[in-house]
Structure 1
Amino acid sequence: MREVRKPAVAHLFYPGDKIHLKTMVNEFLANVNEQLIQDLQFRIGLPFAIVSPHAGYVYSGQVAAYGYKLIEHTNWDVVVLLGPSHYVNFEGGALSPAVSFQTPLGEIDIEQNYNASLIEEDPHLFSYLSAAHEREHCLETQLPFLKEVIEGEFHIVPILFGSLSAQAIKDVARVLAHVHQKRSERILYVVSTDLSHYHSDKEAMEMDKRLIRHFVKMDSASLMKDALAGLVEACGIFPLLVIMELARTLGKTQSKDLIYRHSGMVSGDNHQVVGYMSGVIW
């Protein structure tokens, strides 16, 4: 039987019908600073990875649009999606046994050979866990943007991460690097994470700017240290650390933050905000 992963947060995090969803995504893309994106495209060409938030589109959609504007009208064969598990606890990386993810903009097939390669490399780190994906929003919210900006057909590899030790972060990056180097396709990595949660706007901005400094310097050691000390927060800290380690392994050493905002800038409530960043690695 063909297992299709159904949308879990359509009508909640984003419009559930095709017309309204396309309109919203394209409005976000139209409101991006074109000059910033054009200058960056001239400098870097195609990115290795983008970092994108995953809240409701009303709050974080405009921030997410900056990363996706960078890849508008480009072609990719595989998009590897890395995000945190919000609802199921486990160690390592959880793959989806589904054959595709359904979205209001159409189905996106999963690259099954990529999944098989990850498990073959290290079955202790990577395994199928359908329960982790069923309710999860962090990867699902990226899919409408991907469908809208990428030209042509592409497949996805959705990976959710539970807790990872410092050694496991390096091991995951090693496995991903081995698989990456064996494949000839055009591969894009998308890391889904929000930043600090439920602090005042002043405190949130201090914490988030600290995290962004580590990201721009590609300093994963300091990022890990500050996260353990509670000086920075990101629900997707593990996938973020993984992509920084993977990028360094593959010689992708440059990164940049594209835009930062927090939920209070939309809601007007600055007492308990959530931080959002869009970033790029090349």
Structure 2
Amino acid sequence: MPIRDQQKVRLSAVAGMFYENDPLILRRRLAEAEGKLPPIVPDAAEVKGVVLPHAGYVFSLPTAMAPLGTLRKKKIGRVIVLGPSHYVGFRGIAASDYSRWRTPFGDLSTATELFELMEHWNSPLVAVRDDAHEKEHSLEVQFPLIQYFFGQPEVLPLVVGALSMEDVLTLAPRMAELDAPGTLWIVSSDFTHYGTRFRYVPFTEEVPERLRAQDHAAAELIANRDLSGFASFLGKTGATICGMNPIALFLATLDVIDPARTFRGEIAAESNSGELTGDYRNAVGYEGIAFRKQA
């Protein structure tokens, strides 16, 4: 049965926790955050993808809004969202046969053609797993932002599980088939999770400065589209970047989409939870990166 005939709705799992459940209050929060962004730049260069955090809006919304700011008034027909799996362990990519994705702003519809294209790949690295989507906040937190900035584009939410570098390079040419003009890629990732709560305490002195420096170094490698450098960085630091696999997959896919490297990453905003709470015993970093076409 075609997905468009199923009308299977994925209900919000974190509205009222990660962001407001009331559409008027939610829209007010987003509008207030947008009001702090720089003015819209006429004829701003095309943005192919963005890396956004997925923490609660009280922590990470300004950092998430910054890369999207220059996309205001842009026509986006489809959004492909790549996010890490926080609840279900598996290898590869999990698509879903949900036809709609509900938020306080209404429903987003699945890009059915892209979903069906992935089914035809017959790849052992691609599966349809609703269980990977049911509670996953890394994708959901992006949906209200998509609706606020772009209205009701079709979406293809994909949960990314464990991937080796070989898996990444195998999937990249296939993933590039999903791209088309008017498509935006959103890669959902928080950055370093520091502290005993996350079992990651590589340093105990000058924590705010070193946490910012570590996340900035990672963001620079990503912005420079240095996949091998990013992989080496993860190996050396053990940095607890939850979306490292979605990021790696996007970078490899972008190399196929744009072999001439006309798109370059720009770090639009950086922050961490400690700046808000004052507690650096356990803190999470956030980076906002936009991949913009160079003149």
The structural deviation recorded for 1:231 is: 4.7
Give the corresponding residue for 2:228. Answer: 221
The structural deviation recorded for 1:172 is: 1.8
Give the corresponding residue for 1:242. Answer: 249
In 2, are the aligned partners of 1:262 and 1:274 still within 8 Å (CA)? yes
Stretch of structure 1 that moved more, 89-98 or 227-236: 227-236
**Hey, what's the Cα distance between the residues in 1 that align with 2:103 and 2:81?**
15
The structural deviation recorded for 1:244 is: 1.1
**Hey, what's the Cα distance between the residues in 2 that align with 1:68 and 1:29?**
9
Q: TM-score scaled to structure 1, two decimals?
A: 0.92
**Hey, what's the Cα distance between the residues in 1 that align with 2:85 and 2:70?**
26
- 1:22-61 alignment to 2 at 5 Å? 22-34=27-39, 38=41, 42=43, 45-61=45-61
In 2, are the aligned partners of 1:48 and 1:281 still within 8 Å (CA)? yes
The structural deviation recorded for 1:198 is: 2.0
Q: Which runs of 5+ in 2 are unaligned?
A: 1-5, 196-206
1:270 pairs with 271, 274, 280, which one?
280
**Hey, what's the Cα distance between the residues in 2 that align with 1:277 and 1:147?**
21
Q: Which runs of 5+ in 1 are unaligned?
A: none
**Hey, what's the Cα distance between the residues in 2 that align with 1:233 and 1:49?**
22
Give the corresponding residue for 1:173. Answer: 172
Pairing 1:189–2:185 present: yes
**Hey, what's the Cα distance between the residues in 1 that align with 2:35 and 2:127?**
39
**Hey, what's the Cα distance between the residues in 2 that align with 1:212 and 1:164?**
20
Stretch of structure 1 that moved more, 231-240 or 160-169: 231-240
Pairing 1:3–2:35 present: no
Give the corresponding residue for 2:101. Answer: 101
Give the corresponding residue for 1:139. Answer: 139
Question: Root-mean-square deviation (CA), in Å?
Answer: 1.6
1:98-147 per-residue CA deviation (whole Å, 9 max, x = no partner) reads 00100100100001110111121243121110000000001101111110
**Hey, what's the Cα distance between the residues in 2 that align with 1:96 and 1:67?**
27
Pairing 1:16–2:15 present: no
Q: TM-score scaled to structure 2, two decimals?
A: 0.88
Could you say what secondary structure the match of 2:65 adopts? Answer: helix
State the AA in 1 paired with 2:86: H
Stretch of structure 1 that moved more, 244-253 or 135-144: 244-253
Give the corresponding residue for 1:279. Answer: 289
Identity score, percent: 25
Could you say what secondary structure the match of 1:58 adopts? Answer: helix
State the AA in 2 paired with 1:106: G
**Hey, what's the Cα distance between the residues in 1 that align with 2:91 and 2:134?**
17
In 2, are the aligned partners of 1:201 and 1:273 still within 8 Å (CA)? no
State the AA in 1 paired with 2:288: S
The structural deviation recorded for 1:269 is: 1.4
The structural deviation recorded for 1:162 is: 0.5
Could you say what secondary structure the match of 1:97 adopts? Answer: coil
Which runs of 4 or more aligned residues in structure 1 lie more than 6 Å from their structure 2 counterparts after TM superposition?
A: none
